[in-house]
Amino acid sequence: MTRSGRSSLATSLATLACGTVLAFTPACSPSSTATSSTSEGLGGPLPAAASLADVEDAIVASGATWTAGTTSVSVLPLSVRKGMLGVPRSSLHPDPIQVAQGNPQATPFAATLPAQQDWRSSNGSDFVSPVLDQGQCGSCVAFATVGTFETQLNITADDPLSPWELSPAYLFSCGGGDCAEGMEPDQAAQFVATYGLPDDACMPYTSGANDVDQDCSSACADAQQRSIQATGTTTPTYGAMDETAIKTALLEGPLVTTMTVYDDFFYYTGGVYTHVTGDLDGGHAVSIVGWSDADQAWIARNSWGVGWGMSGFFEIAYADISGVGQDTWAFQVAAPGPYVALVGIRDASVLAGAAETIGFDGRSLGSAQVTWTMSNGTSQVAQGASASGTSATIDTTKVPDGVYSLLPHAALSRGVIDGAARRGSSTS
């Protein structure tokens, strides 16, 4: 699925409606430029960062079990990598220099907790919203917050297909974020609880492509009417690691957390990460989505795209000095009202043939008529209805080849509700 911040494809699609595009455009490949032993910053040469060879040697020497390689982030200049770390040092509790190694706190209640939890595979369903890419801007707090909030909405709705695609750009720009300075996690959590977040189409994310802050005034005029608001926030941990508190909170949903990033983290490709070498580069925010006692690790989602880590995810040791889990934020949300969503079709999908079937999923729709429209960004080119309310057929020979947005609708007694669009291509 393609969405603002989701990949380099998002920039070219930012003017289309929120959701899924039906014409496939190849995403930009990571730069093939080799990592240099020195990096240039605005003030001249920066200290040399650890190289891939340095990291691989340190992994072997320390007996660590994770793997390192070239990633979509490791190929970037050190100054750019550091610019992606948007948690102010003052927000890291405790200060990373003072983090004590050792086992996290645990209580007798820990014995009643399961040995693992992973919201990517809960009772056979993946409730975690897709990995996004913050690009070259210190907006990690906004992306971690939006991803956590979206996933909590899915969990509360008990529906992994629910259509939430909220705007990290709105949170970051209207909530006080700055590409160069980042954002306070407390500030982001309170913004979601106080004002809520509109859909991604209201304010598509562009800062990742150019490191230029977006003005809040560029959001859609009806942003508040389109916003979904948290009913509350909690901090299961704040300033101290408490393994039991984190796991107990994770049983209800994911958590935003902060961490200290070192040079070696940029090269992570798999396994259970522990810091082995390299300088401290800055503070970062990610979303914890589970744990594994077998691996003695937290499972987390990053916001550096799928070209980093394990398709954007990583495992990190409970006792790693990065501080994951020492500060955490959770969201409470109300049960969602009626909605309709497309099933089995994602962004960048290609529809071809005279009888393409699309599916619908919804909540509290009753006998509502479900319809769909297809547009090219400026005008509607096709429309249809679902006789069953669960599927419909599109004849792509009736529209020219091209890139389109496909949008579901449901007619309720109170009015028509729209689902998230899907953008892709149609070819006959």
Residues noted as catalytic: 140, 284, 302
Instruction: Give the separation between CA 394 and CA 397, rounded to whole angstroms.
Output: 9
Instruction: Give the separation between CA 114 and CA 136, rounded to whole angstroms.
Output: 38
SS3 label, residue 87: strand
SS3 label, residue 332: strand
Going along 144-279, which residue ranges are E strands?
232-234, 255-262, 268-270, 272-273
- Radius of gyration for the chain, computed over Cα atoms and rounded to the nearest angstrom: 22
Amino acid at 60: V
H-helix or E-strand containing 244?
A: helix 243-250
Pairing of strands 116-118, 280-292: antiparallel
Q: Which residue has the tokens 């500060």?
A: 327
φ and ψ of 153, to 5 deg: -60, -40
Tokens of 118: 């992973």
Work out whether the CA dihedral 36, 37, 41, 44 comes out positive or negative. Answer: negative
Exposed / middle / buried, residue 234 (Cβ in 10 Å: 0-12, 13-18, 19+): middle
Q: Which residue has the tokens 């629910």?
A: 162
283 - beta bridge partners?
87, 260
CA 250 to chain centre: 17
Instruction: Give the separation between CA 286 and CA 255, rounded to whole angstroms.
Output: 8
Query: In 366-380, which positions are buried (b, 16+ CB within 10 angstroms) versus exposed (e)?
Result: eebebbbbbbbeeee
- Cβ contacts of residue 421 below 8 Å, gap of 6+? 16, 17, 18, 19, 20, 201, 405, 406, 407
SS3 label, residue 242: strand
Instruction: Give the separation between CA 100 and CA 113, rounded to whole angstroms.
Output: 25
Tokens of 89: 């040092």
